[in-house]
Structure 1
Amino acid sequence: MHTHFGNEVWHQAAAFILRYEVFVLEQGIALQDEFDELDTNDRNYFVVYENSLAIATIRYQKKDEQTIQPDRFCVRKEYRGQGIGKQLLLLLEETAVKEGYLFSTLSAEKTALTFYEALNYYVNSEEYLEDGLLCVEMIKKIRGWDRSV
């Protein structure tokens, strides 16, 4: 396995295919809701590959000058439970710290709360519906935090 970070067309295509499989086909999110105005040509993505198969991805975007907002985070079904998602999110946080961000905030499906809580995110909102799924906003201080999670 190897991880690539960038915005090359081939790389974005791999992220989009995985997102289509997980969010649209598996979770039933509408195609036009999954792919939005933030999916621009210069948007960077982390993708974990096994050979040429995309097995995990996350969109890298800033919310404001102090906050990174990981988004469209998913792991291929048959690769879940192996720690790949945790490693990918921690890599994104390390990259964000190097770029000067202090916080990470994300929209978490209620079914994933324990995953994010184990990585020191905490709930920062009331429940809301996003693309038909029950979610909450979660936040974490990433600079100055113990990275040995």
Structure 2
Amino acid sequence: MIWKIKTFDQLTAEEVYKLLKLRSEVFVVEQNCVYLDPDGKDQHSYHLFLKDEGEIVACARLLNKGVSYEQASIGRVIVKKDYRGKGISRDLLLKAIKFIEENMKESEIKIQAQAYLFDFYGSFGFKPISEEYLEDGIPHIDMLYKK
């Protein structure tokens, strides 16, 4: 398995297709949410992903500050169903935070977390900054990480 991080312009057409396919599999089909995933932010983001035998099995979108929030952000965090429970999500978040701190030179990261993952994100130092609310019918909470 190989981790990669690329800007949108560095992604191949096949990688874009596989990223969008995985995001649709999880967010649209598995979580039964009807929403437009391509939101115009991918072009202004870094894409961190894990490939296993040519298949993308985990990914996250790292957004520069000003794209979604005043702070840098992590979004579209996914681990493919068959790969869950193996520590990949922890590795994914650690790599995302490290990249944002070291390469993007940011010390704050804001996320829009699904509420059931509150403790998971909290284990990395993210703190709640909003009340729970519904986004696409799923409970969410805004959280902030400060280095």
TM-score (norm 1): 0.86
Question: What is the correspondence of 1:1-149 to structure 2 with a 5 Å cutoff?
Answer: 1-6=1-6, 7=8, 8=11, 9-32=13-36, 34-40=37-43, 43-64=45-66, 67-98=71-102, 99-142=104-147
In structure 1, stretches of 5+ residues that fail to align are 143-149
User: Secondary structure of 2:100's match?
Assistant: helix
User: In the TM superposition, what is the alpha-carbon distance from 1:37 to its structure 2 partner?
Assistant: 2.3
Runs of 4+, deviation exceeding 6 Å: none
Deviation at 1:76, TM superposition (A): 0.5
Q: What do you get for the CA RMSD once the two structures are aligned?
A: 1.7
- State whether residues 60 and 69 of structure 1, in contact with CA within 8 Å, keep that contact through their aligned partners in structure 2: yes
- List per-residue Cα deviations over 1:50-98 (Å, max 9, x = no partner): 1111111101112349721001111111111211011111111111111
**How many residues matched?**
140
Deviation at 1:133, TM superposition (A): 0.9
- Identity level (%): 27
Provide Cα deviations, 1:11-30, integer angstroms capped at 9, x if missing partner: 22221111011111100111
TM-score, L = length of structure 2: 0.87
Letter of the 2:64 counterpart: K
Aligned partners of 2:100, 2:32: CA distance in 1, in Å?
A: 31
Secondary structure of the structure 2 residue equivalent to 1:70: strand
Superimposed CA distance per residue, residues 86-144 of structure 1 (whole angstroms, 9 cap, x where no aligned partner): 111111111111121011110000111111111121111011111221100011113xx
Aligned-residue offset at 1:31: 4.1
Q: In structure 1, how many angstroms separate the alpha carbons of the residues matched to 2:143 and 2:45?
A: 22
